[in-house]
Amino acid sequence: MTDTQIGQTNIVGHMLRRASSFIASLALTFVGLTAITFLISRLTKIDPVLAIVGDKASKEVYDKTFVMLGLDKPLIVQYGAYLRKLLSGDLGTSVLTSQPVLTDLLHVFPATFELATIATIFGVLIGVPGGVLAAARKGQWPDQLVRVVCLFGYSIPVFWLGLVGLFVFYGKLGWVSGTGRLDIAFDDIVTTRTGILLIDAAISGEWEIFRNAFSHLILPAGILAYFSLAYIARMTRSFMIDQLSQEYIIAARIKGRSYWGAVWKHAFPNIMVPLITVIGLSYASLLEGAVLTETVFAWPGLGQYITRALFNSDMNAVLGGTVLVGTVFIGVNLFCDFLYKVFDPRLRSS
């Protein structure tokens, strides 16, 4: 074996070890996540047997169902059975919709995805330059402005801002449409392909529906974008302030780099890794169902689905929704890990 070959085997071995420890930690997180959700569902005072047989059932029927559901077995056995079903993609049936929970989730998730993605795009497009500008002009008016905008974003209750937004932009000015994803007149016209209304309408060439969907989407997406922007700008600012005080910036300036050249070409690439984490976290939290925003805007997404299931003691739906939420979180983390390697050459070699 030549030296390079030995080097390559080492790298392969190293990557394998890293991958396996990574997968192990993922699996652990997943098991923990499902265990906690499972325990919560068992904490409820709602009787799962009564939910199925009704309160007029005889003792015999009740007991039979009790055994059939496996409720006579120890908790750990019940959890094992639950986990086995889960891994085969069976999330049970929703009491509320009488459909498999998985079907329900696939139906509601695109609505949340659409909202969260648009909100994050705006949050990044405005938040990142805003944060960089604030750091580069630290203490001056752009910085003060960004700080106030962020501070408000950290302090305003989202459900209240949603209501005030509806009052002003829908009620008074009439610039946007009200709650829901579409006007009732447009319901069920476009065939569902992706579940993302804007894309589905565009594919079908239904531009009137596209415009209507957009005018429904813009207010909730704008409000979520504001919160995501506040978080992203605040973190970008603090990362950049840190980098701009480093000596390599002075060195770059001495060598004749323009100020903004040093900011964008030297300092900015160095904040990419933490910045990706921040954006990923903010995106994940929006994907996890912006519960309150979806409630205010009657947006038929994941957050509203979980909330409705909770209030109707539909435990299969709650469990399924929460597991999806956790999986999304793990997925976003994975994707961020991958992006680190794209943006940070040091992580590629090690």
Residue ranges that bind other proteins, judged by CB under 8 A: 25, 28-29, 32-33, 36-37, 40-41, 43-45, 151-152, 154-160, 163-164, 166-167, 170-171, 238, 284-285, 288-289, 291-292, 295-296, 303, 306-307, 310-311, 318, 321-322, 325-326, 329-330
Return d(Cα 104, Cα 323) in angstroms, integer: 14
CB 85 to other proteins: min, Å:
20
**Residue 225 vs 318, nearer CB to other proteins:** 318
Angstrom distances, CA of residue 263 to CA of 126, 146, 194, 234, 248: 17, 18, 40, 17, 11
Residue of 345, 206, 337, 318 lying closest to 280 (CA atoms): 337
CB 345 to other proteins: min, Å:
27
**Residue 152 vs 338, nearer CB to other proteins:** 152
CB 204 to other proteins: min, Å:
33
**Residue 22 vs 260, nearer CB to other proteins:** 22
In the chain the beta strands, taken as DSSP E runs, fall at none
Structure-token match 């596209």, residue found: 210
**Residue 40 vs 50, nearer CB to other proteins:** 40
**CA 24-28-31 angle, 5° bins:** 135
CB 227 to other proteins: min, Å:
11
**Residue 110 vs 289, nearer CB to other proteins:** 289
- The tokens for 332 are 């976003």
Name the amino acid, one letter, at 194.
T
CB 157 to other proteins: min, Å:
5
DSSP 176: S
- Region of 25 please: left (phi>0), alpha (psi -120 to 50) or beta: alpha
Q: How far apart are the first and last CA of the chain?
A: 22
CB 256 to other proteins: min, Å:
31
Q: Which residues contact 35 (CB under 8 A, 6 or more apart)?
A: 79
Return d(Cα 213, Cα 195) in angstroms, integer: 12
CB 326 to other proteins: min, Å:
6
**Residue 136 vs 306, nearer CB to other proteins:** 306
**Residue 275 vs 318, nearer CB to other proteins:** 318
